[in-house]
Amino acid sequence: MAEKFYVSSDIVFGKDAAKELPGILKEYEAKSVMVVYDSGVKAAGIAEKILEQIEKADVKVTVFDGVIPNPTNEAVEEAAMLARENEIDVFVAVGGGSSIDLTKAVNILMTNPGEIGQYGGMGLVKNQVLPLIAIPTTAGTSSEITNVVALTDTKAVCKYVIIDNKIAANKVIADPEFTKTMPPSVTAATGMDAITHAVESYISNEATALTEYHSLKGLQIFHENLPKVYANGEDMEAREQMMLGCVIAGFGFSNANLGLVHGIAHTLSAHFHLAHGMANAAVLPYVMEYNADSCPEKMVKMAEAIGLSLSGNLQKDQYLLSEELLKLTKQLGIKTLSEQGIENKDFDMLAEDVLKEPVLGFNPKQNITKQDILNILKKAF
């Protein structure tokens, strides 16, 4: 049976990649550019470096620096209003997943009518969007090269996704130097987010030979290099490998989709504003343990790929990956759910909402029950 594999973005990768920005803006004949980033990107001095490059293109510049973690519909509408007022014709998103996702969402509203919430789901964006240049400053979300936007609906108290090939960034400027300012805790959380993408997409029931190749290679890169950059943020070789891994894994999960880990993490973030990577990391080992008997050969293949010692007993080896992921979360100082402020009394409500998450349809083990989710939450507590 024929299989599809979608890749959209042109990528400039490596040190000083940002110097390509003026030429790219001229290529698009940009006249009015919106630059989107958060307070952390500004404090790190990265925003200033990007704005210096944009000035060389002789364009009007509008800045939206009000990005918040887990961006909301309201934040998107606010930024979109500013973009319309300034007749923006090209967007530059600088930062992690929140900045890039918000920019993708704003871009949708520039050429498509109505409110952003109506585009939740797959393939609902009707009109082509404006040029978008994504400049990642973290190595985790892969938002810079995916066709996905994750937003928070504060009224429905849920996190939802927009998936559409039209919304992927046209150009990606990936400079590992921009990740150097991340503190160890952010490096750990975003790195575990990347590992989650690699693992969940590899075992997704939508996975193909093409996606599996990228997911597995991404996992190998992350497993080798994440502990290095956590221990030493100045290790630029490892930083570069992490950013490379995000691009590779992004190719995989944007085509294969994700699963139960993200279903739980979306719900945790919607209700308690947990950082996405930290929420993923807290439950990842236990979801992989839960999924193991539904795809034991793939679990063993991942364990083998990252150099774990196999016994030859499939029933035993299928749990090697989940055990290794638990060790890694402890090594990286990932907080348990209780340490992130979740209480036992929240479990019932969380479990019911997780069952409503669309990404569960891509999970290898189906017929997930409320009790299954409760068991995972208790282990992650």
In order of start, what are the domains of the chain with their CATH numbers?
Answer: 10-179 (3.40.50.1970), 184-380 (1.20.1090.10)
CA distance 194 to 145: 13
CA dihedral 319, 324, 325, 330 (to 10 degrees): 130
Q: Which residues of 321-340 are buried (b: 16+ CB within 10 A; e: fewer)?
A: bbebbbebbeebebbebeeb
Residues 6+ positions from 333 with CB-CB distance below 8 Å: 184, 185, 188
Q: Which of 186, 181, 143, 139 is nearest to 335 (CA)?
A: 186
pTM across the whole model? 0.92
**What's the confidence (pLDDT) of residue 9?**
75
Query: Edge to edge, what strands does the sheet with 148-153 contain?
Result: 121-122, 158-163, 148-153
CA distance 137 to 12: 14
Copy the structure tokens of residue 91.
Answer: 């967007």
Are the beta carbons of 191 and 139 closer than 8 angstroms? yes
Mark out the alpha helices in the chain (DSSP H runs).
Answer: 21-27, 39-43, 46-55, 73-85, 97-111, 184-203, 209-231, 236-256, 260-272, 276-291, 296-305, 314-317, 320-331, 347-354, 370-380
At 130, the amino acid letter reads L
**What's the confidence (pLDDT) of residue 5?**
73
CA distance 54 to 298: 46
**What's the confidence (pLDDT) of residue 22?**
97
User: Tens-digit pLDDT profile for the chain (381 aa)?
Assistant: 567 777 777 899 999 999 999 999 999 999 999 999 999 999 999 999 999 999 999 999 999 999 999 999 999 999 999 999 999 999 999 999 999 999 999 999 999 999 999 999 999 999 999 999 999 999 888 999 999 999 999 999 999 999 999 999 999 999 999 999 889 999 999 999 999 999 999 999 999 999 999 999 999 999 999 999 999 999 999 999 999 999 999 999 999 999 999 999 999 999 999 999 999 999 999 999 999 999 999 999 999 999 999 999 999 999 999 999 999 999 999 999 999 999 999 999 999 999 999 999 999 999 999 999 999 999 999
